[in-house]
């Protein structure tokens, strides 16, 4: 049975809790938390990223998050909390669901980069 993007987003939003930017800012300072930017490289280059965030485009997420992959990024640790964001919240919801499906237990959706910025989150150049 075919699935629509709307259905996929609904399932992702059900699986991954959305958190407020202020909560994300407070959590991001903790060593057991990974802030993850899943926007494309051009987007990150144009606007920067949340300070300390790991930038992995949505298209490479599975390869970077899987410890068995030769492209694995050591920042990914299933024992840590992962806070995901993108430009507006859709890709981060889908990415969060993917991480949950891959065995990451504590995944949160910040939503959009603009939410981080509007809440006073620090930004750094990529």
Per CATH, domain 5-124 is 3.40.250.10 = yes
Domain locations in the chain as residue ranges: 5-124
User: In the predicted model, what is the mean pLDDT of the chain?
Assistant: 96
Instruction: Label residue 32 by pLDDT band (50, 70, 90).
Output: very high
Q: How far apart are the first and last CA of the chain?
A: 40
- Rounded to whole angstroms, the Cα distance separating 2 from 18 reads 26
- Mind listing the pLDDT tens digit for each residue in 38-71? 999 999 999 999 999 999 999 999 999 999 999 9
Q: Is 59 exposed, middle or buried (0-12, 13-18, 19+ CB in 10 A)?
A: exposed
Predicted structure pTM score: 0.94
- Rounded to whole angstroms, the Cα distance separating 121 from 49 reads 10
Instruction: Report whether 110 contacts 16 (CB < 8 A).
Output: no
CA angle 84, 92, 38 (to 5 degrees): 70
């Amino acid at each position: 049975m075919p699935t629509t993007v709307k259905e996929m987003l609904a399932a992702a939003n059900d699986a991954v809790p959305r958190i407020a930017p202020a909560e994300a800012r407070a959590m991001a300072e903790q060593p057991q938390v990974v802030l993850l930017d899943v926007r494309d490289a051009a987007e990150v280059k144009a606007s920067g990223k949340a300070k300390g965030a790991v930038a992995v485009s949505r298209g490479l997420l599975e390869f970077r998050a899987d410890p068995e992959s030769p492209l694995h990024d050591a920042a990914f640790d299933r024992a840590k909390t992962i806070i995901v964001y993108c430009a507006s919240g859709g890709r981060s919801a889908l990415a969060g669901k993917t991480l949950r499906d891959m065995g990451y237990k504590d995944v949160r959706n910040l939503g959009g980069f603009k939410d981080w910025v509007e809440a006073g989150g620090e930004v750094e150049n990529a």
